[in-house]
Amino acid sequence: MPKTPIKRTQTGVRIESSLLKVLKGVAEYADISLGDLIEGIVLHAFEGKAPFSADTRTIIEQLKEVYGCTLTAADSHRLVESD
């Protein structure tokens, strides 16, 4: 498949700590950068497609356990900063 040239922009995104650890773990598992992982997740979401295979979801569940990430989709848009 041919490569698609793009222009990337550095950004300072804030994200919940345990969620970031899980994402970094998934990126390492997939042998891609964190940015590439996030781009892939977003592109899949924009098309209403699931971004992860069943095998990767199993890895995600294991990483969530390791890093104490208890967040679910139900928590989306309801997170607040702790003191």
* pLDDT tens-digit series, residues 8-34: 999 999 999 999 999 999 999 999 999
41-78 pLDDT tens trace? 999 999 999 999 999 999 999 999 999 999 999 999 99
Alpha-carbon distance of 67 to 63, in angstroms, equals 6
pLDDT for residue 6 is more than 90: yes
- pLDDT the model gives residue 14: 93
b/e code 26-38 from CB counts within 10 Å (16+ = b): bbeeeeeeeeebb
Tokens in use for 48? Answer: 């209403």
Q: What does the H/E/C string look like for 3-46?
A: CCCCCCCCCCCCCCHHHHHHHHHHHHHHCCCHHHHHHHHHHHHH
Q: Are 56 and 64 in contact (CB under 8 A)?
A: no
- pLDDT the model gives residue 61: 98
